[in-house]
Structure 1
Amino acid sequence: MHKRIENIKYAVVTVSDSRYNNLIMGKDVSDVSGNLLKKELNAEIYTIIPDNKNMIKGIIEHITESFDVDCIVLTGGTGIAKRDVTVDALKEIIEKEIDGFKILFQKLSYEEVGFSSMLSRAMAGIYKGKIIYALPGSVNACKTALKIIKEETGHILGHIREG
């Protein structure tokens, strides 16, 4: 029996060119999805980065090496547009994919939005003992994913830490 980990420490990263550009230009940044995740997961670490593979890999490495977190949740960049590179970046660094997350997320999304759920490349994986989730940027998709994340992250961490 795997021990469910409690008191999980989260980091939230919003991946968005437009939000990042507004941030560096000193403009108001409306990040409803990122703020929802930050609030619901009680994340102490939150940042916004552009849709850039090197920045995505770099922020994962930075958070993993510099902060005491168990899980990093990214929102944005999981679609099929040319600039949607979050999943591509993560696939270059994660050690194991958690395929069941994508399957379950797509099932729940299909129940909510129908066939357009097939456009999401949401995923989860393990990197240096941490769970990495990549979610779409829409608020409804983040709400759907939170159901899974809140329920299963402690269980997954139990498996990871047990070896």
Structure 2
Amino acid sequence: MKQEHVQPVPITGAVITVSTTRTQETDSSGKTIQAILAEAKIPVRHYAVIPDQIEAIRLELYQALKTCNCIIIDGGTGLTHDDCTIEAVTPLLEKKIDGFGELFRMKSFDEIGTSTMLSRAIAGTIRGRVVFCIPGSTPAVTLATKTLIVPEIAHILSHANK
């Protein structure tokens, strides 16, 4: 990345966990994302655990967009009948960041092999803010947040706000 492409952008994070079984107390993946963001000095201004329902996901995303410019949604990205995060978020994206999902799957392959093809991880922008949708397992959120999101978030937001 060329430093001249990165503008000083204040980054504020949101973590939304999509799950029918987790609560804020049992959400290890959401806590992991928050810890990685804190380590990177990115304040988390919004956190929620919500059910796998398109309207619930969209409502929570709209709330997060009011105060945050780096929204990470974990969970609901698989192929089961109730996984609907991708269906909820994709129509709202103004620009897709196809390379995010491609890189996530490439890096995941080293950890979990061919089952990485089941991941529908995506990212994109909405009104100059970036939204990442990632699988909800702790190894997946660690990989995505630590190796892809944190290193590139300032670069992505610089371009999204030109």
User: Kindly tell me: are residues 149 and 89 of structure 1, through their superposed partners in 2, closer, same or farther at Cα, counting changes over 3 Å?
Assistant: same
How far off its partner does 1:5 sit? 3.8
What corresponds to 2:97 in structure 1? 98
Distance in 1 (CA, whole Å) between partners of 2:57 and 2:26 is 20
Per-residue CA deviation, residues 36-76 of structure 1 (Å, 9 max, x unaligned), is 001211323211110000011111112213x2x11100110
**Is residue 2:63 matched to residue 1:62?**
yes
Indicate the SS of the match to 1:60. helix
How far off its partner does 1:6 sit? 4.7
What corresponds to 2:29 in structure 1? 33
Percent identity for Structure 1 against Structure 2: 37
**Is residue 2:137 matched to residue 1:138?**
yes
How far off its partner does 1:18 sit? 1.2
User: What TM-score, normalized to structure 2?
Assistant: 0.89
Distance in 1 (CA, whole Å) between partners of 2:58 and 2:133 is 12
Q: Is the 8 A contact 1:135 1:141 kept in 2?
A: yes
Indicate the SS of the match to 1:145. helix
How far off its partner does 1:7 sit? 4.2
Indicate the SS of the match to 1:19. coil
Aligned residues: 153
Distance in 1 (CA, whole Å) between partners of 2:10 and 2:29 is 22
User: Which amino acid in structure 2 is aligned with residue 59 of structure 1?
Assistant: E
Indicate the SS of the match to 2:161. helix
What corresponds to 1:3 in structure 2? 6
Distance in 2 (CA, whole Å) between partners of 1:93 and 1:142 is 22
User: Kindly tell me: are residues 61 and 3 of structure 1, through their superposed partners in 2, closer, same or farther at Cα, counting changes over 3 Å?
Assistant: same
Distance in 1 (CA, whole Å) between partners of 2:36 and 2:10 is 13
Distance in 2 (CA, whole Å) between partners of 1:59 and 1:47 is 8
**Is residue 2:21 matched to residue 1:18?**
yes
What corresponds to 1:80 in structure 2? 79
Indicate the SS of the match to 2:21. helix
Distance in 1 (CA, whole Å) between partners of 2:28 and 2:6 is 33
Distance in 2 (CA, whole Å) between partners of 1:152 and 1:128 is 18
Q: Is the 8 A contact 1:5 1:157 kept in 2?
A: no
Distance in 1 (CA, whole Å) between partners of 2:8 and 2:139 is 27
User: What TM-score, normalized to structure 1?
Assistant: 0.89
What corresponds to 1:26 in structure 2? none
Per-residue CA deviation, residues 103-134 of structure 1 (Å, 9 max, x unaligned), is 00000000111001001101101011110000
What corresponds to 2:106 in structure 1? 107
Q: In structure 1, list runs of 5 or more residues that go unmatched.
A: 24-28
